[in-house]
Structure 1
Amino acid sequence: MAGEMESSKIVRRVARELLPRTKEVATEITEHVLHAVPGLAPGWATDEVQLIQESNEQNCGAFLATLAFGVGSGSIEPPAATRRLVRDLAAAGESPRHVLRGYRVGQERLWRIWSDHVHSCVSDTELYEILRASSTHLFDFVDQASQFVVEEYERLVASSPSLSADGPDTREELIRALLGSDPVDLPEIEERLAYALTDIHVALFAAPREESAPTRRELQRVIEAAGVPALVAPGRADTWWAWLSWPSLPPAEFWARIGSLSLAGVVIGAGEPIPGRDGFRRSHMQARLAHTIATLRTHPRPAAVRYRDIEIAALLCGDPEWARRMAAERLGSLAASGDVQERLRETLRVVLRHGHNRAQAAKELNIHHKTVGYRIAQAEKLLDRPLTYDTFDIEIALLIEETLGGL
């Protein structure tokens, strides 16, 4: 009995030591889960990643807090973010299998973090008992959470006739069916949606960057700039989705018009023009990825961002921390923050874009060509090598810095 009481005291102490690192632990778990279960947030859409991160923070906090204060795992209520995630899945008609697998994968990573922490601050003689007690607590906690996900999902589906129907019924369900891989009756869905599915599609993915941003209104501005038929639907977590259709490729003026729009607190990703149902799906995924990359910056600019313009950046910045390290190594002192370095980096981008033609770069920058030469010389000092030495590496590093908004 005395041994159990002593073990409980040690568990509480060790949990209290880890509790302040809850956000850090949850972030590691989120990254691990999203790599292992990509279906949880296709394209790493920012809104969905944030919801999963919030759910992980609340789950980790609950696990560590109950250990720290000696509360039984049976008293833990599913956190608000998890409830919202299940509600979104049910509303979208999606299976909860990704959430359940996410819990299992997250449990494995949380256990690894917890056991490493225990090993670092508990003696070998106490280790077995501490890990035994805490493992039971964690497994019970995840079992209850998984049971809640299943029961809550089934309850929500049963309470909504449209969700429990044999086939897609509502407008949103028809769109979800098109985005899936199962066969569908395209002519029937086309008629019910009043949208030409055989045309060329450009998908839009709009999400707010600040509270109360007029996401739907700003999306409508982009649609009006296109001047073509549009299909619009609400997405998860305050996002809006849309598709624009053309019988042939959209004109260049369309991209110029939406690119020049200044949007109020909203970032909109735009996919590439692709025909048919495959284009409907692929352009949507591209739009989501364009939005994700555009919001990697600390202070993203509210705007419409085309996938083609960020495609290379998406490949480079899939792992932002790795990308930052690589770019910082390539740029050296030129990567430092400051008005001078920022001006030099922008000059190099323009010079490289014009194939080292200083006269053309000067015209775009609206400065004298000798000023361009002076800035290149300054940049080369900070780079500690000529611009022509490894142009490709420098260009890639500058693209990463521009995409991430600093290193």
Structure 2
Amino acid sequence: MTVSNRDDPAVVQAAAALAKRFEEQLPELTGSIQQLLISEIPELRGQAQLLQLLHDHIAGSVETFSTVVRNDIAIQNVTSPTAALEYARRLAQRGVSVAALMRSYRLGHRALLAGVADEIRTAGLEPGLALGIEERITAISFDYIDQVVEQAVAAYQDERDRWLEHQNSLRTSSLHQLLSDEDVGADADVLEAAIRYPLKHVHLALVMWYDKSDSESGIALMESFIRRAAESLGAQQSWLFLPLDQTTGWAWIALPPGVAPDAVSRLQVFVDSATAAPAVAIGNPLPGVDGFRRSHRQAQDAYTVATTPGSGARRVISAGDPGVALAALLGKNVAAAAEWVAEVLGPLSEATDSDNRLRETLRVFLRSGSSYTAAADELHLHYNSVKYRVQRAVERRGRPVEKDRSDVEVALILCHWFGSAVLS
């Protein structure tokens, strides 16, 4: 039998069956396309939240395309998946070019067609039927891409226009100039006037984020939160907020005299009690322009630790928390850190509840100067329980800690902050 007409019933049926296999292979296909886009388009490399949205966008787009092929849906009735449109909006908010967005669709389209060709070759179909399937799916895919790209670009442009209107361009550009490593010198007073924030104070920097945003309310919620947080520290009018997108923002609080020593602990208490509070990463209170920058970098480092996949959900994290600065420094390559942790801790690095208890007890014990009493007080355990767990942890590791104690302490810090991301 020789079939070349892409609308022949046999071709339609076979193409639908092939599209069904794409749905069955959705996790693998999504992962490979995401990796391709990230490696080919540097602008798409970003924080974990944006990468997750890219993953959801790809998965939704592939699944929608498969549905179109399987059910012979008219292209004019197709709409982009919600995640795809939201991803376009987030790129607009972050200032990623529309060219990068369009290129991602072209590369994804190419990868999908390559997958179609592989499936057809693997199936060993009669040449005429194989050609008909390839022609049908290729034609539908081009029509589909043409339809959804137009919708994505429209969403991007609408959001970009709205976002530019939302931001005060002078204030934003002045803030970015201030955050650069350049010596602002005599421009400090000009920048202070432009951003409408006092730079000669002691500054407490924050990164705020929501894991999910059900509407455009994220920005309003973050702005409301930072206003109330500043008021709780006695800085009613001395705060600055810069939204990055609907779920993430930067903020600074200019602390009144005498507040700095306990500002972080007071803010942590406020986060725990505040309604609709975002998750918060906090820098250390530091003075002047250099302190404004340094506290911000510390908050970003703490944010990186808190949002590393596998690290566990935390509502508040501070750069001053024991081990956070070290974890941020060593966690820039989590895969390599995980390998090193496994080498140092051996079986103690396994991701079990029992090993987690042993690791945490050993971490506190070593940090307490190998004092069973101090560790027991901190962990709210009996002295003998701490002693037993420490012994079990050493046995589980398979060798004593005296010779490489510093390595063990660092490995335990990484386990504490990064969780399953560095566990076996």
TM-score tier by shorter-chain length is: 0.7 to 0.9
Distance 2:38 2:298 in 1: 18
Distance 1:130 1:88 in 2: 36
- How far did 1:49 drift? 3.5
Q: The residue matched to 2:63 in structure 1 has which SS?
A: helix
Query: Per the alignment, do residues 316 and 284 of structure 1 end up closer, same or farther by CA in structure 2, a change over 3 Å counting?
Result: same
Give 2:412's aligned residue. Answer: 398
Give 2:22's aligned residue. Answer: 18
Give 1:166's aligned residue. Answer: none
Give 2:359's aligned residue. Answer: 345
Structure 2: any 5+ residue segments left out of the alignment? none
Give 2:173's aligned residue. Answer: 177
Distance 2:126 2:287 in 1: 63
Give 2:250's aligned residue. Answer: 241
Does 312-321 or 79-88 show the bigger shift?
312-321
Confirm or deny: 8 A CA contact 1:87 1:156 kept in the other structure.
yes
Q: The residue matched to 1:300 in structure 2 has which SS?
A: coil
Structure 1: any 5+ residue segments left out of the alignment? 164-168
Amino acid at match of 1:232: F
Give 1:378's aligned residue. Answer: 392
Q: The residue matched to 2:318 in structure 1 has which SS?
A: strand
Distance 1:351 1:111 in 2: 57
- Of 331, 335, 343, 2:350 maps to 335
Query: Per the alignment, do residues 306 and 68 of structure 1 end up closer, same or farther by CA in structure 2, a change over 3 Å counting?
Result: farther
Confirm or deny: 8 A CA contact 2:271 2:316 kept in the other structure.
yes
Alignment of 1:270-285 (within 5 A): 270-271=282-283
Confirm or deny: 8 A CA contact 1:287 1:307 kept in the other structure.
no
Query: Per the alignment, do residues 49 and 92 of structure 1 end up closer, same or farther by CA in structure 2, a change over 3 Å counting?
Result: closer
Does 70-79 or 373-382 show the bigger shift?
70-79
- How far did 1:175 drift? 4.6
Does residue 345 of structure 2 align to residue 303 of structure 1? no
Does residue 270 of structure 2 align to residue 256 of structure 1? no
Distance 2:257 2:35 in 1: 40
- How far did 1:382 drift? 1.7
Distance 1:276 1:109 in 2: 51
Give 2:206's aligned residue. Answer: 204
- How far did 1:252 drift? 4.0
Give 2:230's aligned residue. Answer: 223
1:80-128 Cα distance to aligned partner (Å, 9 max, x none) = 3333344455567664344234334544555555555555545595766
- How far did 1:78 drift? 2.7
Query: Per the alignment, do residues 104 and 202 of structure 1 end up closer, same or farther by CA in structure 2, a change over 3 Å counting?
Result: farther
Does 117-126 or 14-23 show the bigger shift?
117-126
Give 2:37's aligned residue. Answer: 33
- How far did 1:17 drift? 1.6
Does residue 90 of structure 2 align to residue 102 of structure 1? no
Give 2:3's aligned residue. Answer: 2
Query: Per the alignment, do residues 382 and 157 of structure 1 end up closer, same or farther by CA in structure 2, a change over 3 Å counting?
Result: closer
Distance 1:404 1:30 in 2: 23
Does 11-20 or 223-232 show the bigger shift?
223-232
- How far did 1:389 drift? 5.2
1:310-347 Cα distance to aligned partner (Å, 9 max, x none) = 34434555566776676456441562423x43332111
1:53-99 Cα distance to aligned partner (Å, 9 max, x none) = 33223222222222333446565423333333444555676643442
Amino acid at match of 2:313: P
Alignment of 1:36-55 (within 5 A): 36-40=40-44, 42=46, 44=47, 46=49, 48-55=50-57
With structure 1 as the length reference, what TM-score do the two structures score?
A: 0.74
Q: The residue matched to 1:2 in structure 2 has which SS?
A: coil
Confirm or deny: 8 A CA contact 2:330 2:337 kept in the other structure.
yes
Q: The residue matched to 2:250 in structure 1 has which SS?
A: strand
Amino acid at match of 1:242: A
- How far did 1:242 drift? 1.5
Give 1:59's aligned residue. Answer: 61
Does 358-367 or 231-240 show the bigger shift?
358-367
Amino acid at match of 1:61: E
Q: What is the number of equivalent residue pairs in this alignment? A: 397
Distance 1:356 1:60 in 2: 55
- Of 78, 81, 85, 2:80 maps to 78
Query: Per the alignment, do residues 200 and 350 of structure 1 end up closer, same or farther by CA in structure 2, a change over 3 Å counting?
Result: same
Confirm or deny: 8 A CA contact 2:201 2:254 kept in the other structure.
yes
With structure 2 as the length reference, what TM-score do the two structures score?
A: 0.71
Query: Per the alignment, do residues 97 and 211 of structure 1 end up closer, same or farther by CA in structure 2, a change over 3 Å counting?
Result: closer
Query: Per the alignment, do residues 65 and 280 of structure 1 end up closer, same or farther by CA in structure 2, a change over 3 Å counting?
Result: farther
Distance 1:341 1:172 in 2: 51
RMSD: 4.5
- How far did 1:302 drift? 1.8
Query: Per the alignment, do residues 69 and 191 of structure 1 end up closer, same or farther by CA in structure 2, a change over 3 Å counting?
Result: same
Amino acid at match of 2:239: A
Amino acid at match of 1:54: D
Distance 2:166 2:190 in 1: 13
Distance 2:387 2:112 in 1: 54
Q: The residue matched to 1:237 in structure 2 has which SS?
A: coil
Identity percentage of aligned residues: 27
Distance 1:40 1:390 in 2: 40
- How far did 1:236 drift? 1.7
